[in-house]
Chain A
Amino acid sequence: KNQVEQSPQSLIILEGKNCTLQCNYTVSPFSNLRWYKQDTGRGPVSLTIMTFSENTKSNGRYTATLDADTKQSSLHITASQLSDSASYICVVSDSYGANNLFFGTGTRLTVIP
């Protein structure tokens, strides 16, 4: 069964600190993995998209890594800001049917001053 699991479910960190969010998946065959940021009451916004051959991709203070062998990905946030408070959702695509996107339930990050 194709699944995407994220951890931790929620996280609270101090402003300025770094943090790492985890995503494990069983989706096969794998096509790409995406990280989205979703502010409360807003739609998800894409942070990164990684294909099988990419190990790491950065978008400002966000760096995503992918290990396709172990089927794990992480999202590292550097020097956190209050505006980073949001849910971060991992989405894996198998490109194997019309509905090819599998969503994790997200990690709720709260950055406090």
Chain B
Amino acid sequence: GAGVSQTPSNKVTEKGKYVELRCDPISGHTALYWYRQSLGQGPEFLIYFQGTGAADDSGLPNDRFFAVRPEGSVSTLKIQRTERGDSAVYLCASTKDRDTGELFFGEGSRLTVL
């Protein structure tokens, strides 16, 4: 597809379970971001990849959150031992040029932890 693809679009899980959220960026975009957005708030930075490496993971709230991008394309955000406070929309974005390029967002994955 032409845009950033995120799956699943909706995920309902129970407290304590493990969750994986996938992001397939636009082909050729080397920079990839993960954000978390709560209702009525702007996106909150989680982690940034340049290629395969996590250039900045300072936004990850704790060690239950982890993200990978093993081949420099698809990225997976992993959340262990989910808590109710993890409920939010998780947005992925990619860009060809981190400084001046347009940032393209996916539709997000809505996570609900019961």
Instruction: Point out residues on A near B: beta carbons under 8 Å.
Output: 31-32, 34, 36, 41-46, 49, 51, 89, 91, 93, 95, 97-101, 103-106, 108
Taking a contact as CB atoms closer than 8 A, the residue among A34, A51, A95, A98 that contacts B103 in the complex is A34
Q: Main SS of chain B's interface residues?
A: loop
Taking a contact as CB atoms closer than 8 A, the residue among A44, A49, A98, A104 that contacts B105 in the complex is A44
Q: Any chain A CB within 8 A of the CB of B100?
A: yes
Stretch at the interface among B50-58, B62-70, B76-84: B50-58
Taking a contact as CB atoms closer than 8 A, the residue among A42, A49, A91 that contacts B100 in the complex is A49
Taking a contact as CB atoms closer than 8 A, the residue among B33, B42, B98 that contacts A104 in the complex is B42
Known contacts being A44-B43, A105-B42, is A98 close to B107, with CB within 8 Å?
no
Report how far A91 CA is from B43 CA in the complex, Å. 10
* Cβ contacts B1-21/A at 8 Å (1 or 0 each): 000100000000000000000
